[in-house]
Copies of this chain bind each other. A is one copy, B any other.
Amino acid sequence: LKGLTVTHKHVNLINKAGGDQLSSNFRDKNPLAQVPVLELDDGRQLRESIAICRWFEEQQPEPNLFGADAWERAQIEQWNRHAELELLLPIAQMFRNTHAFWAGRIKQAPEYGEILRETVLSRFDWIEQELAQRPYLAGPRFTVADITALCAVDFGRISKLRIKPETQPNLAAWHARVSERPSAKA
């Protein structure tokens, strides 16, 4: 989307030893053993997806994704946090706590996963109402908040959380609108 060139190094999260992210080499980059990590040409390292996105925004300001003035930046931050805290994190936690993939790998609490399912479904209904008022989450244009929300909704499919087009037509239309962007398909 920004036209920046980044060399990707694949970190295999699942192998017989538990995953490449657990190696001492990777833990030197991130003691939390989490991806992604951005390495600059001069060796500096940066963790956390949104911190990396903010860095990219400053290196290549256009197209603007985080806001062009103080009020728009505050609004986009509000909506990006809503997308993360109300959608992406509960959806990720639901996956970890209920999916067979994680059985035996981590301690799961399926009971909590079911509580989260109700939460997320109610959030879909709330976002439906918001998207009845404007085409994108934070306002009239595509921003990082839409990227976060798209990642969340698509991630939810693995836990059978799906948009209901009959009762959530605005959410369904938004999902189609953001999914057909070239950067979403990349």
Contact check, A44 vs B31: say whether CB atoms are below 8 A apart: no
Question: Which listed residue (B73, B81, B86, B111) contacts A58, Cβ 8 A?
Answer: B73
Contact check, A89 vs B86: say whether CB atoms are below 8 A apart: no
Complex interface: chain B residues within 8 A of A89 (CB) = 89
Among the listed stretches A49-57, A149-157, A162-170, which one makes contact with chain B, having 4 or more residues with CB under 8 Å of it?
A: A49-57
Question: Which listed residue (B54, B97, B112) contacts A74, Cβ 8 A?
Answer: B54
Complex interface: chain B residues within 8 A of A7 (CB) = none
Question: Which listed residue (B46, B78, B109) contacts A46, Cβ 8 A?
Answer: B78
- CA of A129 to CA of B32, assembled, Å: 12
Contact check, A71 vs B47: say whether CB atoms are below 8 A apart: no
CB distance from A42 to the nearest CB of B (A): 10
Complex interface: chain B residues within 8 A of A48 (CB) = 77-78, 81-82
Contact A129 to B31, CB < 8 A, known contacts A54-B77, A109-B115, A115-B107: yes
By beta carbon, the residue of chain B nearest A122 is B32
Beyond A54-B73, A55-B71: 13 further Cβ-contacts under 8 Å?
A31-B126, A31-B130, A46-B78, A48-B77, A48-B81, A50-B81, A51-B78, A58-B73, A97-B112, A109-B109, A111-B111, A111-B112, A112-B112
